[in-house]
Amino acid sequence: MATHFRVAAALALSALFITACAHSSNTVPAVQTGSPQSTIATNAAGGTFVRFPLPESNDYSNDLANGPYSTLWMTVLPGGTSVIQFLKSSGAVRQYFYPMQETVGAYSLISTANAVFGIVEENFRTADLIRITSTGAISTVKRSFVSESGYFSNLVVGPDGRVWFAACFPFNGSVNANCAGGSRLVSISPSGVWGPSASLDSFKALQITPGPGGNLYLSGIQGPNFNTTSVWVVSANGTILHKYPLANTTHSPAGIVTGSDHNLWITEPALNKIARMTPAGVVTQFNIPTANSGLARITYGADGALWFTESLANKIGRITTSGVITAHAIPPIPGELPSPEGIVVCSTAACPPHGGVWFTETGFIGKFIAP
């Protein structure tokens, strides 16, 4: 998820990559498809939706990132491990496949100034950290760290310009399928050099965002049965500063982002609520009007509000920093349930006059232009 802090950090990143730091490198030809714009529809709330088809009608993505040169990047499932580059101006799509044995899929990714870092998984156990350039050159930065059946957080660009993520990550190279040694928060420079890290013990950070004070904010679960939800605050040098409990337990947060009010905003799908947490750990919760909405990801908007996806209700939601919620129903496709998931900000230039959002759904990339 993008934040104000990520944008500033991304501009400062170097475009250089030291090949010696990678385990392997190859260039994968892109599969390019024309993406004619689908029907433009205006919903009852006055917003305008635009759809662009993905290469396959059953493609779906659970992560999305703004990239350099007016592009979007996303992971795509099923059909092998691949990432898609989408040109905002034309809707053209380029798909890059990563060669793996017994591929499961590509998951989280984040764009830096001139490259994309991503996590790809195989065997439901191990995963690789990769770097892909805009020309399709793929480098394996770290091979076969343990994902424990899909456990790793999203990737973020921290206030220090480094890429950060959390996983079951033994540094001795041994495979630890049960994650018995605990999880770690790790960082890497754009050139592939490992930096500060932090042991998270039994805490599993599911979502991360850069936040106030130049720190990282991690939402996740812990406890004997992972039945306690909290937000940890970690400095850019890897020091754990605070551990704040959320108001309720026995649920997993789906997204976290820093808002224009410098508070943390967290989606809680099991509770059908969005939580606002101050940097001091004070939590306020807001109920989603749609029951069982399937809250997913959340991002900040160009209008200063927060935007989020309701995957089960097939809606795009907007919440102001004071907690006022508006939902926009995505126009249905006959016989399809698009299920929006990933979401990032759409600038006022791309979504005039007040900005909007890009989002992923089954078979399509969507753009919502706010009324």
Using one digit for the tens of pLDDT, what is the confidence trace for 7-30? Answer: 333 323 222 222 223 333 333 344
Instruction: List, as one string, the DSSP characters of 203-214.
Output: -EEEEEEEEGGG
Residue 298: the pLDDT is: 96
Cα(187)–Cα(202) distance, rounded to whole angstroms?
19
Structure confidence at residue 346 (pLDDT): 92
Dist CA 295 CA 155 (whole Å)? 20
If one counts the domains in the chain, the total is 1
pLDDT at 17: 25
- pLDDT at site 278: 96
Tokens of 209: 């965002």
Q: What is the CATH number of the domain that holds 106?
A: 2.130.10.10
The C-alpha atoms of residue 163 and residue 3 are separated, in whole angstroms, by 14
Q: Supply the Cα-derived Rg of the chain in whole angstroms.
A: 19
d(CA 315, CA 307): 11
Which residue in 123, 134, 121 sits closest to 165, CA to CA?
121
Question: How many whole angstroms separate alpha carbon 97 and alpha carbon 81?
Answer: 6
Q: Is 221 helix (H, G, I), strand (E, B) or coil?
A: strand
Tokens of 204: 């599993």
What is the four-CA torsion angle of 21, 24, 27, 33, rounded to 10 degrees? Answer: -100
How many whole angstroms separate alpha carbon 25 and alpha carbon 40? 41
Whats the size of the chain, residue-wise?
Answer: 371
- Supply the pLDDT for residue 236: 93
d(CA 25, CA 177): 26
Buried b / exposed e across 249-260, counting CB within 10 Å, b at 16+?
Answer: eeeebbbbbbbb
Regions of the chain with pLDDT less than 50 = 1-34, 171-177
- Are the C-beta atoms of residues 225 and 213 closer than 8 Å to each other? no
DSSP state of 266: E
Task: Residue 162: give the domain boundaries.
Answer: 4-369
What's the pTM value of the predicted model, to 2 decimals? Answer: 0.85
| H/E element, 5 | helix 4-11
Q: 291 exposed, middle or buried (CB, 10 Å; 0-12, 13-18, 19+)?
A: exposed
DSSP 328-367: EEPPPBTTB------EEEE-TTTSTTT-EEEEEETTEEEE
Q: How far apart are CA 231 and CA 205, in angstroms?
A: 8
Burial of residue 226 (number of CB atoms within 10 Å: 0-12, 13-18, 19+): middle
pLDDT digits (tens, 9 = 90+) for 225-284: 677 889 999 999 999 999 998 876 566 788 999 999 999 999 999 899 999 999 999 999
